Amino acid sequence: MATVNRRRVLSGVAGGLGLALVAPSRGLDRTRADVIVAGGGLAGLTAALNLLDAGLSVIVLEASARPGGRIHTAYQLPGQPELGAVEVGPLYARVRDMARRLDLPLEPRGNPVGAFSLGIGGQLVNMEDWPESPLNQTVGDERVVPPPALLQTVITQHNPLLRADDWLRPEARPLDISVHDWLVAQGLSDEGLRLVNEGLITADFNDTSILPSLQDGLRMGLARTAAGSRPSGGVDKFTGGTSRLTTAMVEMLGDRLRVDQRVRAIAMNEAGVEITCESGAVFRSDFVIAAMPFPALRRIAVTPALTGIQADAVANMRWANTSQVFLRHRAGDYWERDGFAPSLWTDGPVNLYRQQVDSDRIVAVLVGRKADALDQLSPAEQGAFVVNDLVALRPELRGKVDAVATHSWREEVNIGGCRHDFRPGTVTRFVPAMFAPHARMHFAGEHTRLLEIGMESAMESGERAALEIVSGQPQEPIRTS
């Protein structure tokens, strides 16, 4: 076990990230450190900086050539779109604090895609016409709610959770049921149910737990309250792209971060940890943090092997998918000619068409099973499929729109999807066990979130894993049983 000067490290962590303390790694043993972090996404980078600040030596091994994981500003594409995270919520204390410390400006997110119309059954309808539209087959009070807002509206009206940690308490277990069953219990109509399922990021609402959505919903409500009347609802973005955040964190780490080092084996014993990469490089440490999604972790040979519920979670937890097709058009302000809003939400094979304000760019977004279906096609076929779908909805674009690039989070071999997805019953079953420390191994990543969401949850988890190591204690801020 590493001998850690607890007074020194605990004062470092308690004081937060004193980034000025992080100096270049002169004299660092290039293959040995107190802690090796496997995974250079936001969670791994946060863990590494916390550990450095606590006085430990760290090496971060990143499988790909590009650190940052699901933070990826596509600087090479027109308009430099974000493939992953963009929104910085009003309650994102860690992300905002890191931005301030790294001197990275934030700006209001604004509305980059203008207004939305709806595409229902292949026909367009404007939002203001939705309540009275014959395309609207929902009933009662549901009729005034736009389909993309249905799930969140029902959650806001009927959310039994009151505090951000309620979802992990024993009393919440009866809520670890499918999205479908919970919505039926709230009285949503069959058409309301269908529309919710069409927009769901996970595979199917019969096979997805409502419990994380209730926590997300509660968290969003708290964020709205905290934002008050701030512009964009208090939601900001990084000026110049979200990748500026991870790039600046990587710069802090210097040569402690090694790219193109995909971990394939982690062996632990009394003496320490030995980590072998596909490159053949071998690294040694006292502790390891696995800061990658489970689809990536399950390909790593871990000795001693994970057991019980933890092994079940790593092997079987599902990841959702998001795929995007980037389009350019030569049709000017075509939405003014067809009379609908620039952007579309549809119940067809493409979930969203986001017309970027003041530009010739449209981003087609597909989630869940729709994204998985698209991924079955070649990139050229994907482009043609999306263009045909869009032109059928908006004939003004016929012959004037082309696909320029595609991206799928499922196809990112080191990640395997856009976000974790709990099946019914698995919040209750997996969360208490799935990221408990195992031998010398600790776990980080947005899927190990407790209170936060998105980027903030990745930072929360990295901080927790670092604190587990420096304190020698598993961090259990919440009683889950």
Stretch that binds ligand FAD, among 81-89, 122-130, 182-190, 466-474 (CB under 6 A): 81-89
Determine which residue in the list 74, 155, 218, 458 makes contact with ligand FAD, applying CB under 6 A. Answer: 458
Min CB(160)–ligand FAD separation in Å: 25
Instruction: CB nearer to ligand FAD: give 291 or 401.
Output: 291
209 beta partners: 178
84 binds ligand FAD (CB under 6 A): yes
CA gap 19, 164 in Å, rounded: 29
Q: Smaller CB distance to ligand FAD: residue 340 or 409?
A: 409
Q: Which of 13, 415, 431, 465 binds ligand FAD (CB under 6 A)?
A: 415
The only residue of 127, 172, 445, 468 in contact with ligand FAD, by rule CB under 6 A: 445
Q: Among 25, 454, 468, 470, which residue interacts with ligand FAD (rule: CB under 6 A)?
A: 454
Site residues for ligand FAD, window 282-341 (CB under 6 A)? 291-293, 296, 300, 322
Tell me the window of 2-10, 329-337, 355-363, 407-415 that interacts with ligand FAD (CB under 6 A).
Answer: 407-415
Q: Is 263 in the site for ligand FAD (CB under 6 A)?
A: yes
Binding mask 25-64 for ligand FAD (x = CB under 6 A): -------------xxxxxxx----------------xxxx
446 lines the binding site for ligand FAD (CB under 6 A): yes
Asked if residue 199 binds ligand FAD (CB under 6 A), the reply is: no
Q: How far is CA 434 from the centre of its chain?
A: 18
| Piece of 21-29, 47-55, 85-93, 251-259 that binds ligand FAD (CB under 6 A) | 85-93
Q: Which of 138, 178, 414, 426 lies at the binding interface for ligand FAD (CB under 6 A)?
A: 414
What's the full length of the chain, in residues?
Answer: 481
Shortest Cβ 53–ligand FAD spacing (Å): 18
Closer residue to ligand FAD (CB): 383 or 417: 417
Which of 418, 431, 450, 466 touches ligand FAD by CB under 6 A?
418
Please, what is the minimum distance in Å from the beta carbon of residue 437 to ligand FAD?
17
To the nearest whole angstrom, how small is the minimum distance from the Cβ of residue 417 to ligand FAD?
8
Q: Among 48, 460, 64, which residue's Cα sits nearest to residue 288?
A: 48
Q: Which residues bind ligand FAD (CB under 6 A)?
A: 38-44, 61-64, 69-71, 84-87, 262-263, 291-293, 296, 300, 322, 409, 414-415, 418, 445-446, 454-455, 457-458
